[in-house]
């Protein structure tokens, strides 16, 4: 048996025989974290529960310039969906996330981070995800919140 001199591209049909059991090939499944946790509906619930808390929080609510939180909810939903492997609407509409830059106009203190995480914890818990997915999501939220702090305590 002879192998083709030029490797086949994925769009040219089946892989050459020696590549069929290649441990370095891309897995056949295509599920993202976004799909695995329930897709759009899961992220809508996360955002709704989170912003229910933010809406009444005396430290966080003033950071949202719009009277109506709907635009902020939409932006955060688009961002999280794209980040976790869902639709790329955020990037198409707003470009690169540049999270720290977008949060610089707001005084994000360690106290604000803790309040943000309090409401996000409530939202993540409301999803009742399996432990692996819950841990993955929560780990990201903690790291993201910490990276947004741009002012010292009490300022």
The whole-angstrom separation of Cα 117 and Cα 111 is 10
How far is 151 from 48, CA to CA, in rounded Å? Answer: 27
pLDDT the model gives residue 125: 99
- Tell me, what's the pLDDT at 3? 43
pLDDT at 6: 46
36 neighbors 133 (Cβ within 8 angstroms): yes
**CATH for the stretch 44-148:** 1.10.490.10
Per-residue pLDDT of the chain (155 residues; tens, 9 = 90+): 444 444 444 444 444 444 444 444 444 445 899 999 999 999 999 999 999 999 999 999 999 887 889 999 999 999 999 999 999 998 887 776 666 666 666 788 999 999 999 999 999 999 999 999 999 999 999 999 999 999 898 77
Interatomic CA distance for residues 108 and 5, integer angstroms: 58
Burial class from Cβ neighbours inside 10 Å (0-12, 13-18, 19+) for residue 54 reads: buried
Q: Is residue 101 within 8 Å of residue 120, measured between CB atoms?
A: no
Structure tokens at 63: 């950071």
Q: 81-84: list long-range contacts, CB under 8 Å, 24+ apart.
A: 81/34, 81/40, 81/43, 83/140, 84/32, 84/33, 84/34, 84/37, 84/43
* 84 and 34 Cβ atoms separated by less than 8 Å: yes
């Amino acid at each position: 048996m002879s192998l083709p001199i030029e490797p086949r591209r994925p769009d040219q049909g089946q892989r050459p025989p020696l590549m069929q059991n290649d441990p370095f090939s891309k897995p056949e499944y295509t599920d993202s974290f976004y799909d695995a946790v329930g897709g759009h509906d899961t992220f809508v619930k996360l955002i709704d529960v989170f912003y229910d808390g933010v809406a009444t929080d005396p430290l966080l609510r003033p950071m949202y310039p719009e009277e109506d939180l709907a635009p902020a909810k939409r932006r955060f939903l688009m961002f999280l969906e794209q980040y976790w492997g869902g639709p790329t609407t955020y990037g198409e509409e707003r470009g690169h996330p540049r999270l720290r830059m977008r949060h610089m106009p707001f005084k994000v203190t360690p106290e604000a981070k803790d309040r943000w995480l309090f409401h996000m914890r409530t939202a993540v818990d409301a999803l009742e995800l399996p432990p692996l997915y819950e841990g993955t999501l929560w780990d990201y939220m903690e790291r993201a919140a910490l990276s947004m702090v741009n002012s010292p305590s009490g300022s």
